[in-house]
Structure 1
Amino acid sequence: MTFPRLLPPLNPPVDTWQGCRVWLVGASSGIGRAAASALHARGAQVHVSGRNAQALDDFVAAHPGARAWPLDVRNTTQVARAADRVRESGPLDMMVFCAAYYQGKSIADFDLQDMLEHQAVNYAGALGAIGAVLPAMLREGHGHISLLASVAGYRGLPRSAAYGPTKAALIHLAETMYLELHGRGLGVSVVNPGFVDTPMTAKNDFAMPAMIGPAEAAHRMILGWERGHFEIHFPRRFTWPMKLLARLPFRLYQALVRRGTGT
């Protein structure tokens, strides 16, 4: 059963992926790789980037027509060069920033270099990718930028002092970009997943409720783009409670989080 849309979509819905040029930055593994595979299956012209050149080569071998551009998101020269190569085949329809670095550490084990590494990959890396594609998109009046953030960016959480703020920054950035770029013909979206079974979450030693697989995450992302959503969050059985928690006064929020996490 389908229900009538009460409000217009915030972004232009994607009617077909056939022939769309999509560049996924951070597609060596996890959600990025799954999304690249799913988009390729739908007929998109997929370009993948990441640090693991072998993983990218393996992806291209398994997905005829896909192109790979290895890079380190901390190196803006490499990112800009890859963006130029992607555009050689024509205007870019979408750039998806999926690259992430994660270490779940207590703030009591403060490690400045590790915290700065989170900033360099998760936030500054996104800025580099945006800067590499935005000027051309503005000239063309066409294109969509999607940032992979996290529900960890909604509010402060235990053992998330390094990771959480970078995702909060991406959410804030996406909102600002939308407000400024929507009127110029560009789409902007932010993806806030809960727990997804990836090499990154495999590091965790705590319970991860409502975990889903990368293929399901990719399906939810693509469905969100197709429907023109600004925020794409999943799985709803986990993200809606997190949204409700995030709106509570801090006194109540901290009590519930501490009880739920045992901190």
Structure 2
Amino acid sequence: MNNAKPASRLIWITGASYGLGREVALQLARRGDRVAVSARSADKLKGLAGEAPEGSILPYELDVTDGQATADTVARIEAEHGPIDIALLNAGTHEPVSADDFKAEKLRELVELNLMGTANCLEPLLATFRNRRRGQIAIVASVAGYRGLPTSAAYGATKAGLINMAESLKPECDRLGVKMQIVNPGFVRTPLTDRNPFPMPFLMEPEDAAAALIRGLDGDGFEITFPKRFTYLLKILRCLPYALYFPMIRRATKQ
């Protein structure tokens, strides 16, 4: 694998106002890339641009649940700054859902942002990249999409959907010259994970997680996952039969 620093590129990151997306944007900008950043908060994007080298962060306020606005934003970025080389589709949120208080509306909200918001980005990107026969897309899912976990009935379902979507698109993207990747992080310290009331094994700081994600973008693998010790353990759990899996999860989560 070639680990040399790539030439300056135009990279679009959604969900860039906080957490992992924000840190990835900063690290890419500081190493010389131009980074178009999107989120719903214009103020947070402006603050992010102020922390990076002048002109390296390009803010675009956007709610990815609006399909037309998303397509328009992709067109604006390319009209104003040239072709997008890489898209990191990171916009998403988490909302605990339990059997004690299951609400379909919570699931709908997460589907609209995590799953449909990503699809809204993919539509214009794939059309553009397909015509050029080049481009790179990395979809941020989660290890929560590997198997069902307590309180993750909505979040895990959307992340599993993203993993399946990326897997399904990859063979065709390969044929079209488009590099498709899936990002499955473990626990990363962000405002979302700060809400978790339970211990988070192998919790990563956003700076370390962003560095790992960027190494994956520069690499050739389909899946980018970190921290390895934790995510590989979950991969093993994914292979267990239900008769073993559910008792282990009950003990681990005290359910």
What is the TM-score with the length of structure 1 in the denominator? Answer: 0.93
Structure 2 portions without partners, runs of 5+ = none
Residues 1:246 and 2:235 are matched in the alignment: no
2:97 is matched with: 105
Cα displacement string for residues 117-161 of structure 1 (whole angstroms, at most 9, x for unaligned residues) = 000000000000111211110000110110000000000000000
- Residue number among 141, 149, 160 corresponding to 1:157 in the alignment: 149
Please give the TM-score of this superposition, normalised by the length of structure 2: 0.96
The percentage of counterpart residues that share the same residue type is: 38
* 1:110-259 paired onto structure 2 within 5 Å: 110-259=102-251
Contact 1:17 1:39 (C-alpha < 8 Å) held by counterparts: no
Q: Is the 8 A contact 1:18 1:42 kept in 2?
A: no
In 1, Cα distance between equivalents of 2:248 and 2:169:
33
Shift of 1:61: 1.9
CA distance in 2, matches of 1:28, 1:163: 20
**Distance across 2 between alignment mates of 1:14 and 1:123:** 32
Cα distance in 2 for residues equivalent to 1:149 and 1:17: 25
1 CA distance for matches of 2:104 and 2:60? 31
Counterpart position of 1:57: 46
Residue number in structure 2 paired with 1:8: none
Q: Please state how far the C-alpha of 1:108 moved relative to its aligned partner.
A: 2.2
**Aligned equivalents of 2:225 and 2:179: distance in 1?**
17
Task: Show the 5 A alignment for 1:19-30.
Answer: 19-30=8-19
Backbone CA RMSD of aligned residues: 1.2
Classify the secondary structure of the residue corresponding to 1:67: strand
2: CA distance, partners of 1:129 / 1:17:
24
Question: May I ask how many residue pairs the two structures share in their alignment?
Answer: 252
Q: Which residue of 2 aligns with 1:48?
A: 37
**Cα distance in 1 between the residues matched to 2:195 and 2:78:** 36
Runs of 4+ in 1 over 6 A off after TM superposition: none
Q: Are 1:36 and 2:8 counterparts? A: no
Q: Which amino acid aligns with 2:175?
A: G
| Corresponding residue number in structure 2 for 1:68 | 59
